[in-house]
Amino acid sequence: MKVLKFGGTSVGSAENIKTLLRIVAQEKLQSNPVVVLSAMSGVTNLLTDMAEKAERGEDYDASLKEIEAKHFAVIRTLLPAGAQNPVFTRLKIFFNELEDLLQAVTNLRELSLQTKDQILSYGERCSSFMIAHIAAQQFPEALYVNGAELIKTDNNFGQARVDTELTEMLIKNFYQENKSKVLFVTGFIASNANGRVTTLGRGGSDYTAAVWGAALNAEEIEIWTDVNGMMTADPRIVKKAFSLPELSYTEAMELSYFGAKVIYPPTMIPAFMKKIPIVIKNTFEPDFAGTYIKSDVKTSSLPIKGISSIDHISIINLTGSGMVGKAGFSGRLFSLLSREQINVVLITQSSSEHSITFAVKPTDAGQAIALIKKEFELELDANKLALPEVENNLAVLAIVGENMKHTPGMSGRLFNALGRNGINVRAIAQGSSEYNISVIIGAGDLSKAVNAVHDAFFTDLKRTLNIFCLGTGNIGKTLFNQLKEQMPFLAANNDLQVKVAGISNTRKMIFKAEGLSLDEWESELEKDGETADLAGFVEKMKQMNLPNCVFVDNTAAEAPIEFYQGIFESSISVVTCNKKGNSADFAQYKSFKDTARKFGVDFYYETNVGAGLPIIRTLRELMMSGDKVARIEAILSGTISYIFNNFKGDAGFYETVKEAQELGYTEPDPRDDLNGKDFMRKMLILARDAGYPLEASDVKIDNILPEACLNATSVEDFYTELQKNAAYFEDLKTTAANDGKVLRYIGKLENGTVEISLQMVDDSHPFFMLSGSDNIISFTTDRYKSRPLVVKGPGAGAEVTAAGVFADIINVGSLS
Ligand SMILES: NC(=O)C1=CN([C@@H]2O[C@H](COP(=O)(O)OP(=O)(O)OC[C@H]3O[C@@H](n4cnc5c(N)ncnc54)[C@H](O)[C@@H]3O)[C@@H](O)[C@H]2O)C=CC1
Ligand SMILES: N[C@@H](CC=O)C(=O)O
Ligand code: NA
């Protein structure tokens, strides 16, 4: 035999009640269940509201009408006209009684807890009476049971404690006499020794179900609600949260205690004592298995079962010498709080015993402080205790699971996820049971924290990166196309999800925490975007406080650079193809690196040199493994490489440069390529990464342009000058060709100095054979001494560059 309990939503409308009855009918095929019912959704709140209004002498008629209408609509929909009358009559009697009570409260302007329980009881009585009669249309053995008469409690109105022995006896006897019936029992309500109605407090209907289940030794207790069981985290916060198939009682208690609202822990105790499984099921998806809560759970591969959270909490810090070595101090403190019904959510004490921190609900904080001041007056006066301090706007995040026990690294994983996301931990507690590690953090960080921790523990799920992209030009646009094409693959491989949470160019910017559409971003930016404002973009990115956040700079602008520092300090990683950041002052370059390291975030800029070719990472790996760079020789301008590879035969210089620009090899301003500045930046970045603290002015550059081209004040002018100086370039070409040589613009780093020179090389030179926009780099190092390590391939172009940016993005956080 099973006990089935249906919550407020499940009995909240005619449609839902029909679903409920289908579930009961299905169960009846096995054996007659006991069905415990809540009040229709919203009714308990209305009753409370009415009672309070009556106490203040205010009019409550509208609410009474609303409750009536709610029930009567169901009766009219689900009962044939001929069967409606008895139900209407009984409910009307209920409502008359209720009105009398409210009138009495109005007259006396007094609402005792006892009266309030009496008033609230009508919620469950109405719903259960009505549903039992609707059920009787399908199965005549349906019987309405006023459960208040069978659950006996003390006089603690509002939160009465059950007399288990007496209650079990009454329930057993009643059940024996009515075994052939399907019982529809009011949840939540009970009665004291004098027969006065009491209520069982929060989660009261679940408690009723557990009491009945325990009394009758039910096979299981099913709690039918409107969600798919208990989940790994609050699904409103974590979109990827999933339902847990199984939990132990302890895990369920820990998870529910910290916020999972599906069941209220104390209600499980009667079931727990008798090892009766509790199943959380979804009325609206009855075929979904739901969550089994029982004592003998199978071993699970999940490192933790879930993350629970409380979004509003205050902490109180007590410090002072008065508590050092004083055995009774915390005893006094916490019995004081418990005596005054202040619920302490979490406690930590440093091993020096010099301070105790504990968390309470914000509404209790003021009272707790007042109580402490009174109780410890002497200690405070003698300065053995400092005045207690309260901190508000905090939240608790807890990871829960029995697997944590004996598994090293769990807290490491938790704190790493928090640390990487810049979440400051205010206090920590781990029960020695090791079922739960709780941290207190700022309330504003909660959503980010829960998502980041969920990603860190449930690694089988897709990790989410939230990217904010600056620049929608050649590279930015191509990156979005690649992301769009690659998303299905990443999703199928179940390892990564990249959400574009913000986009800006010089004109407009747009944000969307759930991720912008990679199909529609361009029109959305155009249509819904606000006026671009770089500082505003960065600020909004910080404010959105998303987990695993990456700032992607796909511009060629100076302006974004000044924000990098603050972005790192906000624990946000940076990926960029913009070389301007790393090639400005050395001090700034160093500061970026140091800050990123200090805040545990990544700074990736592979495309600063050789576009997508693995040059920066090759050098980084050489350096990290202790190698030393003796010499670098390289061709790192894709544009100039393309020009020299194609400026032959009849081809003109000007036309070839134009082609390079059209192919997307040049900088937005092609003068930067031709005047060697772009190449200089790359050599400088390489030199710095190789350990040389150089400045731009330290790089010697051979100029390949005539003076007039160098002095051009606009791109247009520049092209005009190129055309005017055609003879100069023709001369270069023929001189080289006559000697059987090719033109090469080659950078060299040796002995800490960098130079870039125009050379004419013959086929004995390793850089002779290049084509297209090829880059080539050879590293001569301690380990690659006699034969250098060489990387070669296309070093410019939108596809290869965007691919390099893409690779950097997906590498963010991948080592954690
Ligand atoms: N083309 C290539 O082969 C390679 C390019 N790169 C780098 O890629 C970067 C981008 O190049 P392209 O896409 O060709 O440039 P682009 O001129 O096509 O696009 C630049 C984008 O940045 C935006 N932008 C500029 N300043 C901004 C600001 N202050 N705030 C917001 N948005 C701003 C512009 O609106 C535009 O959308 C450059 O830094 C370049 O050095 C790096 C490696 C290879
Ligand atoms: N404009 C650059 C592109 C890569 O950084 C080049 O031509 O190499
Ligand atoms: Na590269």
> Can you tell me which atom of ligand 2 is nearest the CA of 579?
5
Complete edge-to-edge strand list for the sheet that includes strand 2-6: 142-145, 182-186, 34-37, 2-6, 220-225, 278-282, 291-294, 246-248
Q: Is residue 102 part of a domain?
A: no
> Can you tell me which atom of ligand 1 is nearest the CA of 797?
3
Cα 637 to averaged position of ligand 2 atoms, centre (Å) = 5
Tell me: do 317 and 334 sit in the same domain: yes
Tell me: do 529 and 470 sit in the same domain: yes
Q: Is residue 552 part of a domain?
A: yes
Question: Cβ(602) to ligand 2 under 6 A?
Answer: no
Question: Cβ(795) to ligand 2 under 6 A?
Answer: yes
Name the residue of 531, 555, 640 to mutate for ligand 1: max ligand atoms within 8 A of Cβ: 555
Tell me: do 474 and 328 sit in the same domain: no
Tell me: do 431 and 535 sit in the same domain: no
Cα 702 to averaged position of ligand 1 atoms, centre (Å) = 26
Cα 572 to averaged position of ligand 3 atoms, centre (Å) = 22
Tell me: do 34 and 163 sit in the same domain: yes
Question: Cβ(547) to ligand 1 under 6 A?
Answer: no
Name the residue with the closest Cα to ligand 2, atom 4: 796
Ligand approaching nearest to the C-alpha of 522: 1
Question: Cβ(534) to ligand 1 under 6 A?
Answer: yes
Ligand approaching nearest to the C-alpha of 641: 2
| Per-residue H/E/C for 787-814 | CCEEEEEECCCHHHHHHHHHHHHHHCCC
Question: Cβ(611) to ligand 1 under 6 A?
Answer: yes
Structure tokens at 382: 């003698």
Question: Cβ(667) to ligand 2 under 6 A?
Answer: yes
The span from the CA of 335 to the CA of 324, in Å, is: 18
Residue 263 burial (CB count, 10 A) = 26
Question: Cβ(582) to ligand 1 under 6 A?
Answer: no
Closest CA to 478 of 564, 552, 528: 552
The interaxial angle of helices 677-689 and 586-598, nearest 10 deg, is 50
Q: Is residue 273 part of a domain?
A: no
Beta strands per DSSP E along 539-598: 549-553, 573-576
Name the residue with the closest Cα to ligand 2, atom 1: 666
Choose one of 413, 430, 458: the last residue of a domain: 458
Closest CA to 293 of 354, 238, 229: 229
Ligand approaching nearest to the C-alpha of 791: 3
Tell me: do 418 and 347 sit in the same domain: yes
> Can you tell me which atom of ligand 1 is nearest the CA of 800?
3
Question: Cβ(504) to ligand 1 under 6 A?
Answer: yes
pLDDT for res 816: 40
Beta strands per DSSP E along 88-164: 142-145
C-alpha angle 24/29/35, rounded to 5°? 30
- Which pTM was predicted? 0.75
Catalytic, 682? Answer yes
Cα 800 to averaged position of ligand 1 atoms, centre (Å) = 14
Question: Cβ(668) to ligand 1 under 6 A?
Answer: yes
Question: Cβ(506) to ligand 1 under 6 A?
Answer: yes
Cα 59 to averaged position of ligand 1 atoms, centre (Å) = 66
Tell me: do 165 and 218 sit in the same domain: yes
Q: Is residue 592 part of a domain?
A: yes
List per-block mean pLDDT (blocks of 10 residues) for the chain, which spans 816 residues: 95 96 95 97 96 97 96 97 96 97 97 97 98 96 97 96 96 96 97 96 91 97 90 86 89 74 79 93 90 83 87 92 74 89 84 82 95 93 92 94 83 91 90 80 95 88 88 98 91 79 98 95 97 98 92 98 96 96 98 94 97 97 95 98 93 95 96 97 98 97 94 96 95 94 96 96 94 97 95 97 96 70
Q: Which of 28, 448, 499, 682 is catalytic?
A: 682
Q: Is residue 231 part of a domain?
A: no
Question: Cβ(678) to ligand 2 under 6 A?
Answer: yes
Give the CATH number of the domain where residue 535 resides: 3.40.50.720
Buried b (16+ CB within 10 A) or exposed e, 148-184: bebbbbeeebebbebbbeebbebbeebbeeeeebbbb
Name the residue of 637, 663, 679, 777 to mutate for ligand 2: max ligand atoms within 8 A of Cβ: 637
How many domains, in total, are found in the chain?
A: 4
Question: Cβ(611) to ligand 2 under 6 A?
Answer: yes
Cα 244 to averaged position of ligand 1 atoms, centre (Å) = 46
Cα 216 to averaged position of ligand 2 atoms, centre (Å) = 78
Tell me: do 572 and 619 sit in the same domain: no
The span from the CA of 279 to the CA of 2, in Å, is: 11
Cα 661 to averaged position of ligand 2 atoms, centre (Å) = 10
Give the CATH number of the domain where residue 744 resides: 3.30.360.10
Q: Is residue 498 part of a domain?
A: yes
Question: Cβ(813) to ligand 1 under 6 A?
Answer: no
> Can you tell me which atom of ligand 2 is nearest the CA of 607?
5
> Can you tell me which atom of ligand 2 is nearest the CA of 642?
7
Structure tokens at 53: 């209004």
Structure tokens at 502: 């913000």
Residue 721 burial (CB count, 10 A) = 18
Choose one of 168, 197, 225: the last residue of a domain: 225
Q: 434 exposed, middle or buried (CB, 10 Å; 0-12, 13-18, 19+)?
A: middle
C-alpha angle 670/676/682, rounded to 5°? 100
Q: Give residues with Cβ within 8 angstroms of 327, minimum separation 6.
A: none
Complete edge-to-edge strand list for the sheet that includes strand 496-504: 530-531, 508-511, 496-504, 463-470, 549-553, 573-576, 603-604
**Helix spans in 358-473 (H):** 362-375, 377-381, 410-420, 446-457
Name the residue of 474, 582, 673, 682 to mutate for ligand 2: max ligand atoms within 8 A of Cβ: 673
Tell me: do 454 and 470 sit in the same domain: no
Cα 117 to averaged position of ligand 3 atoms, centre (Å) = 72
**Distance (Å) of CA 782 to CA 135, 232, 753:** 86, 51, 18
Structure tokens at 189: 């309500």
Cα 618 to averaged position of ligand 3 atoms, centre (Å) = 9
Query: Which domain does 770 fall in, by range?
Result: 615-796
Q: 782 exposed, middle or buried (CB, 10 Å; 0-12, 13-18, 19+)?
A: exposed
Q: Is residue 168 part of a domain?
A: yes
Tell me: do 645 and 773 sit in the same domain: yes
In angstroms and rounded to an integer, the radius of gyration of the C-alpha atoms of the chain is 36
Name the residue with the closest Cα to ligand 1, atom 19: 473
Cα 50 to averaged position of ligand 1 atoms, centre (Å) = 63
Question: Cβ(639) to ligand 2 under 6 A?
Answer: yes
Question: Cβ(673) to ligand 2 under 6 A?
Answer: yes
Tell me: do 473 and 561 sit in the same domain: yes
Give the CATH number of the domain where residue 179 resides: 3.40.1160.10
Name the residue of 577, 681, 805 to mutate for ligand 1: max ligand atoms within 8 A of Cβ: 577
Tell me: do 769 and 624 sit in the same domain: yes
Choose one of 581, 604, 627: the last residue of a domain: 604
Q: Is residue 751 part of a domain?
A: yes
Give the CATH number of the domain where residue 350 resides: 3.30.2130.10
> 294 - beta bridge partners?
248
pLDDT for res 433: 66
Name the residue of 615, 646, 678, 745 to mutate for ligand 2: max ligand atoms within 8 A of Cβ: 678
Question: Cβ(638) to ligand 2 under 6 A?
Answer: yes
C-alpha angle 128/130/135, rounded to 5°? 90
Name the residue with the closest Cα to ligand 1, atom 42: 577
